[in-house]
Each structure stands twice: as C-alpha cells, then as structure tokens.
C-alpha cells in the first residue's frame, strides 16, 4: 500500500514529533516493540486500554514489565501472574500475526490485532493495535436480541407471514405460512424462493382457478409491483378460507399476513342459514321470501318481466296433525318440502311460512300457461301418497296464483292476492289451482287446452299445407307460391295460425312441424314440376327457433337432392325479429342456407324495428312488405310514402320487393307504379289446398287447361 513518509528535509526531532502527534490522535491504542520485545513507540490510548501507570511506560521498557500490570490485576485469569507473563512472552517471541477480542474488567471490549514488523525483510519488531469495539458489540447484541424477538413474534403469530423485499424476493416467512398454503419443503430447498416462484407454483396447481398459469403469474406480478396495501379473502381449492392482508413498509419491503378464517366463515354461514331458513324443512323462511320478492319486483319493474307467486296450503294437514300427532305432521312437512323443491327450477324459490303454508316464487315466466304447467306439476307431485312411519297419508294442496305485474305491483299485495286465490281453490273443491285473476284463469285454461290438442294434431294428421300464389306485378304472370300451415281440428274446425304457431314456437313443437312443412312443400313443388307447372318458386316460412337448430341444413340438403330442386326454386321467409334476435348466428346460418341455392326473403317487413341498412348484413334476395302498409295504400298517404321509400331503398340494396295483402286492382296499379316487383293477396287468390290451386296456376302460367280454367286476373294497367 502506498504511504506517505514525513518530509525528509525536516529535522528528525520534528519528524518524530509529527508522528507522535498522529499516533496520539488515532482512536486506537498502538504499541510497537522491537525484536527484543522492548517498547519502541506507543500512544496515549495504549496506556488507557491496558490501564498502565504513566511513569511505568517509557522507551525501552520490556514487554514483560508492562503486561505484569494487567497480570497482577488478574486480567489473564486466576493463578500466578508471573506464569501468565512468561506464557505470554513466549507467545510474543514467536512474532506471529494474531487477532482476538478481549473484554477487560472495566467492561470495555477491544479488538487486539498484532503484526510482525519487517524492515528490509528483517524482523524489526511487533506492532499491536487495540480498537475499542465495546459500542459496536453492544449494538450487535441489541440487534441480535431484537431479531430474535421479531423471529419469535413471526413464529408465534397465529397466521402465516411473508416479508418480500422490493425485488419481490422472500426475506422471511414462518412455518404457519407453509402449512396454510401447503408449500412443500422442496420449494424452500435452495433458500427462500421469490414471489414469482411461489405464484407460479400456485398457478400451476390451480390455486388461482382455471386459466393459463403464465398469464396468471404475469398479471399477479404486475399487481404485486404496485405495492398497493390490500385485504381480501381467498378460498383455497380444499375449501380453506384465508384472509390475506398486505402492507408496504417504509424500507421498500412488503409484509403479508395470512389468517385462516375458515371456521369463522362456517359459523357465519350457519348463523346466516339459521336466520334465512325454516329449521324444520330447510326451505327459505319468511325473511328470505320477503327479500327475494322485493328483488323480483325491482327486476320485474326494470326489465318488464313477469313472475308468479304460488301460495300452497295442504288440504288435510290439520286432520293429520290432530289425529296422528305433531311428529307425524312434521315428518310430512319435510317430505312436502322435498317434493316442492324437486318440482321447480333452481332459480325458483320455495319457502315455508309456517304451519302447512308454503310459497313458491317462479321467476321469468312470460305465459300464464307455463305458470299453470308448474302449478299442475306441483299438484301432481304433492297429491301422490306419502308413507310416514308406515302410515299412508294423503295431503294434496290447494294452490293460489298471483302474477306480477298483472295482479299486483308490490310483494305484500302479491302474497295477499295469491292467498285469496288459494281460498278460491279450496272453495273450488280443493286439490286444484286458481289464478287470482279470472281472465288469467280463462286464458291459461284455453291455452293449456289448445296445447293438449296440438300434441295430438301431428299424429292425427290434422295439419294441412295450403298455398297462396305470387305474381309478377308488371304482367300478372304467376311466379311462385307461399306454403302456409293450416290446422283443422276434428271438432273445432280450422284454428287460425296466429293462435297455435306461437305456442308451437314456445314449446319447441315447431321443430317437428317445420320439418313436416318442408318435406311436404318440397314434394309438392316436385309434383307440380312433373305435371308441367313450372317454373314456380316455393316459399316456406321459417321461425327463429328453426334457424337456431343447425340440423335444418342437413334436412334442406336431403330434400334438395331427393326432389332435384334447382337454385331459386325454393325460398325461405324469415321475419325481421327472428334474425335480429341473434344477428351473428342468423347471418351464419342464412349464409349456409343461401349456399345451397335457396333464396331468402324478409317477411312482414315494416313491423319490426330494424332499418333496411342493418338488414344489409344478411344475404337476402327479397323483401315482403307487410299487409298493414298495403291495405290502406290508396287512402293513406303515409303508407304510400313508406311503401315507396321501402321499395327504392330495397332496390338500392339489390333486393326485389313483394307486396303482401293486395286486395284490389287499384292497389295493384299503385304498387306497380311505385316499382313493386311482385304481388300476393286476395285480389289474386286466397291460400288454397294444392288440388284447388292447380287449375288457377295452370291458367296464370298460360298452360293448357287440365279441367275447369278460372280466368287469370286482369292487369288493370295493360288491358
């Protein structure tokens, strides 16, 4: 090491005085002995450290004379001081470097460090420094105590603890953490892991739920780096609930405490369950029913959704309770609760109000018939006999029904009206259900009746397909027919399509009926073609429900192959609302239908809410203007304007326009003048069964008569 020597031009005495001054100002004690162990240099601290009398310390004093002072004071331990001094002198004469700590009787601790002194490679003496490390030792001890205390706190805290530094490296954690989070020892085999390692381990074992572990780890690390204090609960896959509280510390580290609150949560759940459920049956109690109904009313008001409240009372319960005892009665009530629960959907609520009174809340029910269905199902389920302790019991219910918002707009009135309806059911001879409103009673019954009859209609061959012809506007040439479903009930006669088709769409029967219509219409098209009635286009109405069933593609392909149907010979009519319900799905399936060579028409145009521009996204060929705009076209200038605008917009989009419901020659002339392409309506022909329509078509196609020939309608514009 380079070091500076005193200026050699200075007199020797001055040089020595400077060095002496330097030595005296060093914070350590220093002694230098020569090769014979005689004292050469020293400073004031040296005297202090060894507690030597000032007059005993002078140049040339032997090493053993000086250490005799501490030896006589017993500082080297008990025994003869002379022997201690001899032993130390022998050690010193080896001139070996040494370094040790010694605490003196006054409590001061020194680091004693000795080095042989070589001059020109020759041993010239020995230099020793005495550094007072008492304060440093005390601080170290204090730190150790404090660290041990902290460690003891962390180890004994009733929760898991982690401490991460600002590089998200784990600095400390306790055993409880490893136990609570099931961290295996292997994870800690190479020291404390990083937060990233722990996150990845957890993500890979599904601790954070499903998802790509790498994405989960990336997101978690990004959040951890923000060092935001947090408190949240995590449910582990084994059901353990942990309360996790994290807090940033001032030194940049982050401490997190994990507390197992599984038992606490379970106790809360038990209390909550007790507060909200009937202890006997486990069903919802009055409090839950009130809360639930308030929610349903709020939702129903906001979304204009109907829901129903069913009030049930067991008809013979009092007799059973009185004659067989409460225990039998209670057992029966438990079984009733189970049957009720099984009879409704998960989203419906079943509550017991007390005694033998039960309430069911059916959410999101649009039709009174579906409410009546559930009521009938409950009635059947609860009317079956119960076997309680070997006794066969009968306790069918009377059910009263009120409907939101038809019968009342608040929870209390709904319940009261359902109760009233229940008494009405009892008065009607028990074991039945009644709506609060007579009107709902009647319409539910009528619809149920119709639905029951519909189920026999297909098997009984009661469906018929009729056809209404379509004509070219400019010359009255027949160009196609629209197939229309008719239902002829053996007793009730023809039932209008608008009464039964919505029911078929609701209950899914439309899928089977639609299939029958398609097969029948395609066969008819082929039969007419074979009889020379061509070219004709067969238009079939397809509902939203059918469009959602992709089997329609296979069915269509089979019919096309079977009957050799060419492109443009078949057309599907779909309504605006059916395609706008799920536009992306509809665009996809319509594209596949179109690819099979089937043309597409939008039916009843103008009755929906969509704009023509929006319909552009579907692969359409034709637009059918609803009859409601056509019927008044000669008197109502608004209708005329709407039809005119629709025609020019449709033409702008490359679509042809068909006007429905044309009833007079004047309407025909006007529509022709507006540029309408095709027409359909009573002016030309009503829908007719195939055999009745055939002669008419023959005439309109200008084909030779195959029997009686009704005249084709006269085009008023080209007489």
- Binding part of the chain for Mg ion, among 12-20, 80-88, 195-203, 539-547 by CB under 5 A, reads 539-547
Q: Which is nearer to Mg ion, 435 or 572 (CB)?
A: 572
Q: Looking at 289-404, which runs of residues are DSSP E strands?
A: 307-314, 349-354, 357-362, 386-388, 391-393, 397-404
Question: By C-beta, is 569 or 573 nearer to Mg ion?
Answer: 573
* Nearest distance from C-beta of residue 539 to Mg ion, angstroms: 7
Give the binding range for Mg ion (CB under 5 A) out of 37-45, 316-324, 596-604, 705-713. 596-604
Write out the two tokens for 691. Answer: 């055999």
| Shortest distance, position 461 Cβ to Mg ion, whole Å | 24
Among the residue ranges 253-261, 279-287, 602-610, 695-703, the one whose residues contact Mg ion (CB under 5 A): 602-610
Torsion of CA 13, 15, 20, 23, to 10 degrees: -170
Ranges of H-type helices in 508-598: 510-530, 544-547, 551-563, 576-580, 583-595
626 binds Mg ion (CB under 5 A): no
Residue whose C-alpha is closest to residue 497's, from 516, 506, 484:
484
Minimum CB distance to Mg ion, residue 516 (Å) = 17
Report the residue number, 30 or 693, with the smaller CB distance to Mg ion: 693
Query: Is residue 573 within the footprint of Mg ion (CB under 5 A)?
Result: yes
User: Which candidate, 425, 279, 301, places its Cα nearest to that of 352?
Assistant: 279
Residue linked to tokens 């998802």: 211
Q: Considering only 89-97, 471-479, 558-566, 568-576, which stretch makes contact with Mg ion by CB under 5 A?
A: 568-576
Contact status, residue 201 vs residue 187, Cβ threshold 8 Å: yes
- Tokens for 127, please give them: 């230099």
CB of 622 to Mg ion, least distance (A): 11
Shortest reach from residue 568's CB to Mg ion, in Å: 18
- Are residues 308 and 401 in contact, defined by beta-carbon separation less than 8 angstroms? yes
Count of residues that bind Mg ion according to CB under 5 A: 3
Shortest CB 422 distance to Mg ion, Å:
45
User: Which whole-number Å values give the CA distances from 626 to 173, 633, 680, in the listed order?
Assistant: 75, 12, 11
Q: How far is CA 526 from CA 274, 338, 421, 481, 538, in A?
A: 70, 57, 57, 13, 10
| Residue 195 or 481 with smaller CB distance to Mg ion | 481
In the bound state with Mg ion, the residue whose beta carbon lies nearer, of 541 and 644, is: 541
Our finding on whether 348 is near Mg ion (CB under 5 A) is: no
Per-position DSSP letters for 23-92, written without gaps between them = HHHSSSEEEEEETTSBEEEE-HHHHHHHT--GGG--TT-BHHHHHHHHHHTTTT-SS-HHHHHHHHHHHH
Q: Shortest distance, CB of residue 564 to Mg ion, whole angstroms? A: 25
For Mg ion, the binding residues in 496-535 under the rule CB under 5 A are none
Kindly indicate which of the ranges 143-151, 244-252, 261-269, 598-606 contains the residues binding Mg ion, using the contact rule CB under 5 A.
Answer: 598-606
Shortest Cβ 296–Mg ion spacing (Å): 38
Shortest approach of Mg ion to residue 660 CB, angstroms?
7
Residue with Cβ nearer Mg ion (276 or 683): 683
Which of 126/605 has CB closer to Mg ion? 605
**Closer CB to Mg ion, 541 or 559, in the complex:** 541
Asked if 285 interacts with Mg ion (CB under 5 A), we say no
Read off the tokens for 656.
Answer: 């042809």
Q: How many Å apart are CA 35 and CA 37, to the nearest integer?
A: 5
- The region of 46-54, 93-101, 306-314, 601-609 touching Mg ion under the rule CB under 5 A is 601-609
Residue 695 C-beta: closest distance to Mg ion, Å: 24
What is 370-384 written as a DSSP string? HHHHHHHHHHHHHHS
By CB under 5 A, name the one of 363, 441, 524, 541 that touches Mg ion: 541
Cβ 431 to Mg ion shortest distance, Å: 45
C-beta closer to Mg ion: residue 573 or 715: 573
| SS3 labels along 458-501 | CCCCCEEEEEEEEEECCCCCEEEEEEEEEEEECCCEEECHHHHH
Three-class DSSP category at 590: helix
Q: CA dihedral in degrees (432, 436, 437, 439; nearest 10)?
A: -10
Q: x-or-dash pattern for Mg ion, window 416-445, by CB under 5 A?
A: ------------------------------
Does residue number 603 form part of the binding site for Mg ion (CB under 5 A)?
A: yes
Residue closer to Mg ion (CB basis): 576 or 603: 603
**Is the Cβ of residue 605 or residue 668 nearer to Mg ion in the bound state?**
605
For the CB of residue 482, give the shortest distance to Mg ion in the complex, in Å: 6
CA angle 625, 630, 636 (to 5 degrees): 130
Which range touches Mg ion (CB under 5 A), out of 432-440, 498-506, 526-534, 570-578? 570-578
Q: Which is nearer to Mg ion, 147 or 499 (CB)?
A: 499
- Please state, in angstroms and rounded to a whole number, the distance separating the CA atoms of residues 456 and 468: 27
Piece of 49-57, 158-166, 379-387, 595-603 that binds Mg ion (CB under 5 A): 595-603
Count CB neighbours of 401 within 10 A: 29
Q: How far is the CB of 541 from Mg ion (least distance, A)?
A: 5
Cβ closest to Mg ion, residue 407 vs residue 603: 603
Rounded Cα distance between 600 and 578, Å, is 13
Residues at the interface with Mg ion (CB under 5 A) = 541, 573, 603
């Amino acid at each position: 090491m380079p070091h500076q020597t005193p200026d050699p031009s200075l007199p020797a005495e001055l040089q020595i005085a400077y060095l002496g001054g330097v030595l005296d100002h060093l914070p350590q004690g220093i002694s230098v002995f020569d090769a014979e162990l005689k004292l050469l240099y020293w400073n004031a601290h040296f005297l202090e450290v060894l507690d030597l009398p000032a007059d005993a310390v002078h140049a040339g004093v032997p090493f053993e004379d000086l250490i005799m002072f501490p030896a006589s004071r017993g500082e080297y331990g008990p025994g003869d001081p002379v022997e201690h001094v001899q032993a130390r002198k022998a050690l010193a004469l080896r001139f070996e470097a040494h370094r040790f700590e010694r605490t003196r009787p006054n409590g001061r601790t020194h680091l004693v460090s000795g080095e042989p002194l070589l001059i020109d490679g020759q041993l010239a003496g020995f230099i020793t420094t005495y550094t007072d490390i008492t304060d440093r030792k005390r601080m170290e001890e204090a730190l150790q105590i404090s660290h041990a205390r902290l460690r003891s706190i962390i180890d004994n805290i009733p929760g898991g603890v982690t401490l991460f530094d600002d590089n998200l490296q784990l600095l400390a954690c306790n055993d409880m953490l490893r136990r609570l989070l099931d961290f295996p020892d292997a994870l800690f085999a190479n020291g404390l892991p990083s937060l990233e390692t722990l996150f990845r381990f957890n993500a890979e074992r599904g601790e954070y739920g499903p998802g790509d572990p790498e994405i989960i780890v990336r997101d978690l690390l990004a959040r951890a780096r923000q060092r935001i204090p947090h408190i949240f609960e995590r449910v582990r896959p084994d059901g353990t609930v942990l309360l996790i509280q994290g807090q940033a510390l001032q030194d940049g580290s982050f401490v997190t405490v994990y507390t197992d609150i599984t038992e606490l949560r379970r106790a809360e759940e038990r209390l909550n369950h007790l507060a909200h459920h009937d202890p006997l049956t486990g069903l919802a109690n009055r409090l839950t029913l009130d809360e639930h109904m308030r929610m349903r009313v709020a939702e129903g008001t906001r979304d204009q959704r109907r829901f129903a409240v069913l009030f049930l009372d067991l008809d013979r319960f009092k007799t059973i309770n009185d004659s067989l005892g409460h225990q039998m009665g209670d057992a029966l009530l438990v079984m009733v609760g189970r049957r009720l629960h099984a009879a409704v959907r998960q989203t419906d609520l079943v509550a017991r109000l007390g005694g033998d009174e039960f309430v069911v809340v059916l959410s999101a029910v649009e039709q009174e018939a579906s409410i009546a269905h559930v009521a009938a199902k409950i009635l059947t389920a609860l009317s079956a006999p119960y076997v309680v302790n070997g006794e066969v019991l009968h306790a069918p219910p009377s059910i009263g029904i009120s409907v939101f918002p038809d019968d009342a707009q608040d929870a209390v009135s709904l319940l009261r009206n359902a109760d009233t309806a229940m008494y009405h059911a009892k008065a009607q001879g028990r074991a039945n259900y009644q709506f609060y409103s007579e009107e709902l009673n009647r319409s539910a019954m009528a619809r149920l009746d119709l639905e029951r009859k519909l189920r026999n209609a297909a098997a009984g061959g009661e469906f018929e397909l009729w056809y209404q012809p379509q004509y070219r506007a400019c010359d009255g040439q027949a160009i196609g027919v629209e197939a229309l479903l008719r239902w002829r009930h053996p007793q009730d006669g023809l039932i209008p399509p608008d009464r039964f088709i919505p029911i078929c769409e609701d209950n899914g029967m439309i899928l089977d009926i639609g299939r029958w219509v398609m097969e029948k219409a395609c066969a008819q098209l082929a039969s007419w073609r074979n009889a020379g009635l061509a070219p004709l286009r067969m238009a079939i109405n397809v509902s939203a429900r059918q469009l959602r069933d992709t089997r329609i593609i296979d069915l269509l392909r089979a019919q096309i192959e079977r009957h050799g149907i060419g492109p443009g010979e078949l057309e599907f009519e779909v309504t605006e609302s059916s395609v706008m319900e799920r536009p992306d799905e509809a665009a996809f399936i319509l594209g596949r239908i179109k690819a099979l060579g089937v043309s597409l028409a939008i039916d009843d145009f103008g009755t929906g809410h969509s704009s023509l521009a929006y319909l552009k996204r579907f692969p359409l060929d034709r637009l059918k203007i609803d009859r409601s705009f056509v019927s008044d076209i000669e008197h109502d200038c608004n209708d005329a304007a709407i039809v005119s605008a629709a025609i020019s917009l449709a033409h702008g989009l490359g679509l042809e326009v068909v006007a429905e419901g044309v009833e007079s020659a004047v309407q025909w002339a006007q529509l022709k003048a507006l540029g309408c392409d095709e027409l359909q309506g009573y002016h030309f022909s009503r829908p007719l069964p195939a055999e009745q329509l055939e002669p008419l078509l023959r005439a309109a196609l200008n084909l030779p008569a195959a029997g009686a020939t009704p005249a084709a309608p006269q085009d008023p514009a080209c007489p």
